């Protein structure tokens, strides 16, 4: 088992390096530091001196790969690649382009509000999905199942923005149950995060429920279920004892995959509700064209994806030993 985990981790290494290479190519090669400087400084007819000055302040004046003016190891260490891109590998994100704030400390501080919304949304979502999927699987072939499927497809055809804007209007403005923007610390946060959580769960139901329902139906047509029924077990017992347990295996893989992404928060939800999480951090950076922050978030997102993939594989071998022997 340990050997397998180590092997999987080693396999992830080239992908991390590849991601780093893509980010470097996009942010330093396609988009030259001169262009970044001009965008940040913002004025149309800016002098070359001002651009150079800004570049020197933010370490963008260095050559890309090899600094021929330096001696020894400084030849490699005094470059953009070493200072800006290689550091990402050990999570050294550096300073932002605009306000010179430390990105790592920002990420650490903003992770909590993001998680406070993403985690409950995720857990509640799974609970609701499995409950409804079991009901639909129990009544498969009836009108209830048919209507449920239609409702699912309709709900997934509605734009996510509609859920947010409509939810804010209904609960925030008409019913005045929740505030529609802001954040507070401690228990006061509950007031601000409950509406985003509610909307997040409702917006996710359509697609996820349909997916879960398909898994349940696949499981319910298998031989061991027929055996259980042939033994004379009541349908409820078959569904809860046999079907649920085995349907959790394919569900687990998709669930584990999304766990790391919870740290990133939701781009839209946080931005609409003005919650100081990582999602709104990213959106603000995009709108302000702060390339250093966008770069860091792209890298962080990719690492979380790779971690998710790793966890999925490992959890799969844990719950289904057949995979390990292959």
Partner 1 sequence: MIRVLPTDIFIFILLASGSAFIFSARRREYWRSAWRQVQRNRAAMVSLFLLSLYASIALIDTIHFEDKNTGVTLSLLDVLATPLRQQVEKTYSAPFATHQYIKESFSATNGTTLRTYPRLIYGGAHLYRSDAKMKDITLRVIKGVSQGSIAAVVLAGIFLGSIHSFITLFSRNGSREKERNISRQLVAYTLIISFAITIPLALLIQCSTSYHLFGTDKIGNDVFYRSIKSIRTGLVIGSVTTLIVIPFAIFFGVIAGYFGGIVDDLIQYVYSTLSSIPSVLLIVSFMLLVEVGETVGDIAWRADRRLLSLCLIMGITSWTGLCRLIRGETLKLRELDYVQAALSFGVNRLKILFRHIVPNLMHIILISFILRFSGLVLAEAVLAYIGIGVDPSMESWGNMINTSRLELAREPIVWWNLCAAFFFMFGLVLPANLFGDALRDALDPRLKS
User: Residues interacting with partner 1, by CB under 8 A?
Assistant: 14-15, 18-19, 22-23, 26-27, 30-31, 35, 39, 153-154, 156-162, 165, 168-169, 173, 180, 213-214, 217-218, 261, 264, 267-268, 271, 282-283, 286-287, 289, 291, 294-295, 297-298, 301-302, 305-306, 309
| CB of 52 or CB of 145, closer to partner 1 | 145
User: How far is residue 37's CA from residue 53's CA, in Å, rounded to a whole number?
Assistant: 10
- For residue 133, the minimal CB distance to partner 1 (Å) is 12
DSSP string, 205-234: HHHHHHHHHHHHHHHHTSHHHHHHHHTT--
User: How far is residue 29's CA from residue 81's CA, in Å, rounded to a whole number?
Assistant: 11
Of 54, 55, 189, the closest CA to residue 113 belongs to 189
- For residue 168, the minimal CB distance to partner 1 (Å) is 7
| CB of 182 or CB of 234, closer to partner 1 | 182
Q: Token pair for residue 237?
A: 């017992």
- For residue 77, the minimal CB distance to partner 1 (Å) is 26
Residue where the block lists tokens 């991601």: 19
| CB of 75 or CB of 140, closer to partner 1 | 140
| CB of 114 or CB of 271, closer to partner 1 | 271
- For residue 11, the minimal CB distance to partner 1 (Å) is 10
- For residue 111, the minimal CB distance to partner 1 (Å) is 16
- For residue 232, the minimal CB distance to partner 1 (Å) is 28
| CB of 7 or CB of 231, closer to partner 1 | 7
Computed over its alpha carbons, how large is the radius of gyration of the chain? 25
| CB of 135 or CB of 233, closer to partner 1 | 135
User: How far is residue 277's CA from residue 270's CA, in Å, rounded to a whole number?
Assistant: 7
Q: How far is CA 269 from the centre of its chain?
A: 13
How buried is residue 116: exposed, middle or buried, by Cβ count under 10 Å (0-12/13-18/19+)?
buried
User: How far is residue 151's CA from residue 326's CA, in Å, rounded to a whole number?
Assistant: 41
- For residue 105, the minimal CB distance to partner 1 (Å) is 21
Do 92 and 104 form a contact (C-beta atoms < 8 A)? yes
């Amino acid at each position: 088992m340990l050997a397998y985990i180590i092997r999987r981790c080693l396999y992830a290494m080239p992908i991390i390096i590849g991601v780093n290479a893509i980010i470097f190519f996009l942010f330093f090669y396609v988009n030259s530091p001169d262009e970044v400087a001009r965008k940040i400084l913002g004025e149309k007819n800016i002098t070359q001196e001002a651009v150079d000055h800004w570049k020197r302040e933010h370490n963008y004046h260095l050559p890309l790969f090899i600094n021929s003016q330096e001696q020894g190891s400084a030849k490699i260490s005094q470059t953009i690649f070493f200072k800006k891109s290689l550091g990402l590998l050990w999570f050294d994100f550096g300073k932002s382009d605009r306000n010179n704030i430390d990105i790592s400390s920002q990420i650490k501080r903003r992770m909590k509000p993001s998680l406070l919304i993403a985690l409950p949304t995720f857990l509640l979502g799974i609970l609701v999905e499995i409950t409804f999927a079991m009901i639909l699987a129990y009544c498969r072939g009836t009108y209830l199942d048919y209507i449920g499927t239609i409702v699912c497809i309709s709900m997934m055809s509605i734009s996510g923005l509609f859920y947010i804007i409509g939810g804010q209007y209904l609960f925030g403005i008409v019913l005045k149950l929740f505030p529609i923007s802001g954040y507070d610390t401690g228990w006061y946060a509950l007031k601000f995060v409950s509406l985003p959580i509610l909307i997040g769960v409702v917006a996710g139901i359509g697609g996820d429920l349909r997916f879960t329902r398909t898994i349940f139906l696949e499981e319910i047509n298998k031989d061991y279920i027929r055996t259980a029924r042939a033994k004379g077990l009541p349908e409820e017992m078959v569904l809860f004892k046999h079907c649920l347990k085995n349907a959790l295996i394919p569900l687990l893989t998709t669930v584990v995959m999304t766990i790391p992404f919870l740290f990133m928060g939701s781009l839209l939800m946080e931005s609409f509700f003005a919650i100081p999480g990582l999602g709104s951090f990213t959106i603000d950076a995009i709108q302000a064209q702060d390339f250093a922050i966008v770069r860091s978030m792209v890298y962080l997102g990719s690492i979380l994806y790779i971690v998710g993939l790793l966890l999925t594989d490992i959890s799969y071998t844990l719950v289904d030993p057949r995979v390990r022997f292959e």
